[in-house]
Amino acid sequence: MLNKGTKNMTTDRIRQAINKANNEGRIALVPYVTIDFPTPGITKDIVRSITEAGADVIELGMPFSDPLGDGPTIQASGHKALENGVTPTTCMDTVKEIRKAGIDTPIVIMGYYNNILSMGLDEFCSNAHDAGVDGIIAADLPAAEADPLLDAVDRAGLALIPLLALTSTERAIEHACKRARGFIYCISVIGVTGARASMSERVKILADNVRRFTDLPIGIGFGISTADHVANVAEYADGAVVGSELINRIACGDVADAPKRAETFIRSLIPGTTRKVVAN
């Protein structure tokens, strides 16, 4: 039974979108976009372009002044967005604009716990739900300390998506999976975000361990930047999160052409999404 004051739980649209991609024989694409980068108001157009290119779930980055988990590319985009005046409140306004434009792709807001806490957990989660957000990632919040946010997320009818690292213990994995919805986000490297030449083989071991505790989809992120990377993780995961290289493409030319560059890059990843059929 839901506690008094709890909003009706929304359908787990994130999980449904990833499962739909998997049922079509492909890994889901989850692009990451920093809100209001490179310029205020452009995020809606970028989201539209990458959705049309084949994105299954959208991860929107809520910039923070001290983003310890972000590599130089995403840090720089966040700092620029902060200079542009982005705040948690304007991030919600951006999601509203996306929904008003008729874009129905599931949206996950990724931020840092202090950003969320500054608004108040219940207010942040309620505002996110009302804006059209489907899930939240708190990048610096260990699963063992996540219960207050989990409670607020549950009351708002959202999904809290946990981050698990290559160094996560079995106990941490089990704890994170207990109340998770949407998908489990497995970090493919030790360190910060950023495009890399190759993917660590250790992340497959992590994904296999996670599957012992949940039937939720598993998404792999940090370092995915090519169709070959996507094809690699498609062998053992359900979703591929692509961030730093997409931000690089958005940043590398005229602002007016940023949505088109984002679309072109996402389309370049599509050949890697096909999952191999294993014969019985």
Point out the residues that are catalytic. Answer: 59, 70
Tell me how far apart the alpha carbons of residues 254 and 273 are, in angstroms, rounded to a whole number: 29
Do strands 107-111 and 218-221 pair parallel, antiparallel, or not at all (unpaired)? unpaired
The answer to whether residues 58 and 31 touch, using CB atoms and an 8 Å cutoff, is yes
The 8-class DSSP code of residue 239 comes to: E
Give the Å distances, CA to CA, from 132 to 99, 159, 166, 216, 238.
7, 12, 32, 22, 24
The answer to whether residues 157 and 7 touch, using CB atoms and an 8 Å cutoff, is yes
Place of tokens 């200079």: 83
Locate 38 and state its tokens.
Answer: 């490179």
Tell me how far apart the alpha carbons of residues 133 and 105 are, in angstroms, rounded to a whole number: 10
Residue 158 CA, chain-centre distance (Å), reads: 14
How buried is 166 (Cβ within 10 angstroms: 0-12 exposed, 13-18 middle, 19+ buried)? Answer: middle
